[in-house]
Amino acid sequence: MNPTQSEPAVSLPKGLSIGYRGRKLTGSKEIRLATNDEEIRLETGRHLLLARNGRGKTTLLKTVAQIIPALDGKVECDGLVQFVDEDLRFDAELKPRQIFSALFKNGQRQFALEMAERIELDIEKPYGKLSKGNRQKVGLIVAEARAYNNGPQVLLLDEPFSGLDFAARENVDAVWRENQDNIVRIVCVHPDEPTLQADSAVIICDGELKQLEVDGTLDWMNTRTSLN
């Protein structure tokens, strides 16, 4: 990872394979989920990650984040990388306002508070008493505030809308559109999600990683025949 580059990017080289290595001690076998037959380069913008369940979406995000190693090849990232898991947790007793105050200063803190207001997050309610959707909002705000005016960024978002209602999704989407400079967003979404703005899409099908060109938006009807 090279955070000093002026423009963020993610490169998935030809021959990259993702999955899980076998372990002799436990007798587990290698699980190879997908291989890339052509180089994929993702630059500033929003890139959707689509596949049916169990095909390797989260595995790919974790491989890009270097949480797990690739089976073959090496992912190259220019920019600071954040993996935003839908299961991200904070201290149950802390209020979102306290979380933002502890993590951020000045402009980033103000950004977090303003985003909380826009997406209707109660910042005075203890984190442990928030609904799943509101806990998810906290994670999204933390990721966006960290990226705000902080150089080239790569944000890896795993099912970021799964707990949000339509209005919250629209408000998050608006924040993303306003703050898209110098950020690569790879957004893992379920294929049945409503139409989303995107610059491209990476799909996993038949054990292959492929990139699709997108003319502004991509929806389920345009991609379902590609996913199996």
Structure confidence by residue, pLDDT tens digits, 146-202: 999 999 999 999 999 888 998 999 999 999 999 999 999 999 987 666 667 888 999
Q: Indicate whether this model's pTM tops 0.85.
A: yes
Least confident of 23-27, 53-57, 97-101, 117-121: 23-27
Which of residues 70 and 86 earns the better pLDDT score?
A: 70
CA distances from 227 to 59, 64, 206, 207 (A): 17, 22, 8, 10
Which residues fall within 8 angstroms of residue 191, CB to CB, at 6 or more apart? 50, 51, 52, 220, 223, 224, 227
Provide, rounded to the nearest whole percent, the portion of the chain with pLDDT above 90. 71
Contact 175, 196 (CB under 8 A): no
Which residues fall within 8 angstroms of residue 228, CB to CB, at 6 or more apart? 52, 205, 206
Contact 48, 201 (CB under 8 A): yes
Which of residues 96 and 213 earns the better pLDDT score?
A: 96
Tokens 């103000």 belong to residue = 110
Give the span between the Cα atoms of 177 and 163, in whole angstroms: 20
Tally of CB atoms within 10 A around 194: 12
Per DSSP, helices labelled H in the chain are 57-64, 96-103, 106-118, 132-147, 166-178, 220-223
Q: Given a cut of 80, is residue 27 above it in pLDDT? A: no
pLDDT, position 193: 65
Contact 72, 17 (CB under 8 A): yes
218 SS3 class: strand
Best CATH choice for the domain 9-226 from the list 3.90.190.20, 3.40.50.300, 3.30.930.10, 3.40.50.11540: 3.40.50.300
Contact 212, 50 (CB under 8 A): no
Give 5's pLDDT tier (boundaries 50, 70, 90). low
pLDDT, position 187: 94
